[in-house]
Amino acid sequence: MPDLAHEPVKKTETPAPDTSVAQPDLQPRGNDAAKDQVAAGGADTGLANYESALGEFLGKKLYGAVSGVLTYDKLHGQAKGAVTSALGALADSLGKIDNVDADPKALDNLGVMLDAAAAPAVEKLLEKYGPELTGKLAKWTGAHPKTVLTVALLAAAGAVIANAPIPELAKQFKLGKSITVDVEAKLGRLRQLALEKLKAKVSYAAGPLLASIEADNDGNVAGTVTAGTDDKKIALDAKFDGKGLKVVGLDGVLKPDENTTILGNIKQKRDEKLIGSLSLTHKDGSITTTNDFKYDANTGILGIGRTSLFEDSQYKLQSNVNGNSDGTGSAGMRVETKEGPLTGYGGVSHETTKGAYGLQESDKLQMGLAFKRSDLTAKLDAQLSTLAGDSKLSGSVDKKWGNNHAGASFSAVLDNPKLLEVGAFYGFKDPNEFKSFLVEYKHKGSTSENALSMVVENTLSDVRLRWQQNLTWGGDSDTKLNTKFHAAKFLNKDTALLGGAEHEYNFSTGKSNIIPQIGVQYKGLPVLVGYDQERKAVKIGITIPF
């Protein structure tokens, strides 16, 4: 259930495109092509796409553990505030924008300035998401929530800078609305240098995490060791169980020049043969081409693929062709155009897969519209397919006004109405005090299940109160009502005493169960201990921070 006291949960992405190629800023240009290219640049450091950058710095396994918690939308506000503060201080220290070209070392203090601006934000985020991160990182040794949050916030700051239009940077230097092409180029140069400094900063902060070791309850241990620089890097992944080495993988990155990247991977599981892949990506102006090769020694199947992407300020055209030695493969094309807050796309694809009676072919047509503004986002996607059950329609709308936030979404399989899923929520949060309200409804057609939940928060004198209610009904499950009521009394800014109770009621059986609870919250981590009278057992859990 979305947590209004913090923010409703929804899938979000960075302003960068789906691919790792950053979208150029839409702004007036002069006649000097070289300066124009510099001014539009700045995203080549790989920081423009937050999800991709964070995955690179944390490693794919650790990123997978925390990606659901540390989304770009959750960090964007704090990251933008830190960037604004740091660039403001940088502008004061540089004096004139001319100093960017005259003395690039003037940017050396950017990391210090960003550290100072980000430190309070990290503490606030730790209070907010620390408990959830602690749970996600429970299996990892050497991965502290504060370190992970710091890396994520710096990566989000990189996305903010990489995607900032040149006029936004001009505001930091108090240059006014009308800027010359020469100044525009220097601002582009500043952005590029700032991103290079920031990437080094994130790499340094993420260093201890690259050697984090994951251990599960079954005694399996996994770890990653990385060596090299951004241009030449090797990472070794290994997983051990009670019998010894279970899985080993080797990843390599080679960048011969700024426009070419070569990625390689070899993986082998115990009692199985090697699986290897190679990817070559080259960028030439507005066109990025990737060639992929993969061989699985277990099946003897060789796969070859090629993807081409053309992208400018308003249009994006992508095509791909993939084929395997067993006769399977796919081909497709997608075009996307953007005009102001409105984005539209359409695509076609053909796929050959293995079915129960041999090779099976299918075709898809996809189209969609998206509207994105600071206070309103809406999206509608449609897919028509020759495969049964694969024609889908989905949509969502999200609106913010004042301290209010509401949204709704749906997804449907066109030839099976029973698979309809719908949801809606409305929430209110007072930014200045502990006072909020959230109600949410969800329906899942595949199981005919419904869920209605509500959270109310308020303050009585100096005691914070929270009431949570969750009603579920429909399908094969019993109708149940779960109610939680908790109070928090802060002794100081870090410590609070907690008390309350949880009540479970089953309408189908008439059974009722009350669990009294007490606990403590320390630095944003609230722990409750209760006694389950029905099950005759002590219950320990973590709740939403107060």
Assigned token pair, 277: 């892949």
Q: Is residue 343 part of a domain?
A: no
Q: Is residue 169 part of a domain?
A: yes
Q: Looking at residue 87, what is its pLDDT? A: 67
Of 301, 307, 310, nearest in space to 322 by CA: 307
Q: Looking at residue 103, what is its pLDDT? A: 46
Between residues 36 and 113, the one the model is more confident about: 113
Give the whole-angstrom CA distance, residue 256 versus residue 263. Answer: 11
**Is residue 107 over pLDDT 50?**
yes
- Does pTM top 0.75 for this prediction? no
Give the whole-angstrom CA distance, residue 183 versus residue 32. Answer: 12
Q: In this prediction, what percent of the chain has a pLDDT beyond 70?
A: 65
Residue found under tokens 């081909």: 331
Q: Is residue 177 part of a domain?
A: yes
What crossing angle do the helices spanning 72-94 and 145-162 adopt, rounded to 10°? 70
| Per-residue confidence band for 91, with pLDDT thresholds at 50, 70 and 90 | low
User: Per residue in 318-351, pLDDT tens?
Assistant: 999 999 999 999 999 999 998 889 999 999 999 9
Stretch among 120-129, 248-257, 352-361 having the lowest mean pLDDT: 120-129
Q: How many structural domains are present in the chain?
A: 1
- What's the full length of the chain, in residues? 546
| Per-residue confidence band for 26, with pLDDT thresholds at 50, 70 and 90 | very low
Residue found under tokens 């450091």: 45
**Is residue 28 over pLDDT 50?**
no
**Is residue 6 over pLDDT 50?**
no
Q: What is the DSSP string of 313-355?
A: SSEEEEEEEEEETTS-EEEEEEEEEEETTEEEEEEEEEEEEEE
Based on C-alpha coordinates, what's the Rg of the chain? Answer: 26
**Is residue 30 over pLDDT 60?**
no
Q: Is residue 159 part of a domain?
A: yes
Q: Is residue 4 part of a domain?
A: no
The residues that bridge with 110 in the sheet, in sequence order, are none
User: Per residue in 396-418, pLDDT tens?
Assistant: 999 999 999 999 999 999 888 88
Q: Looking at residue 230, what is its pLDDT? A: 64
Q: Is residue 193 part of a domain?
A: yes
Q: Looking at residue 527, what is its pLDDT? A: 87
Q: Looking at residue 322, what is its pLDDT? A: 94
**Is residue 360 over pLDDT 50?**
yes
Give the whole-angstrom CA distance, residue 160 versus residue 198. Answer: 12
Q: Is residue 133 part of a domain?
A: yes
Q: In this prediction, what percent of the chain has a pLDDT beyond 90?
A: 36
The per-residue pLDDT of the chain, averaged, comes to: 76
Give the whole-angstrom CA distance, residue 213 versus residue 141. Answer: 5
- Give the mean model confidence (pLDDT) for residues 390-396: 93
User: Per residue in 178-217, pLDDT tens?
Assistant: 555 555 555 565 566 566 656 665 655 555 555 444 444 4
**Torsion of Cα atoms, 98 then 99 then 100 then 104, to 10°:** 150
Of 204, 243, 212, nearest in space to 138 by CA: 212
Q: Looking at residue 140, what is its pLDDT? A: 52
Q: Which domain holds residue 136?
A: 33-211
Q: Is residue 337 part of a domain?
A: no
**Is residue 255 over pLDDT 80?**
yes
Between CA 439 and CA 442, with CA 441 as vertex, the angle to 5 degrees is 150
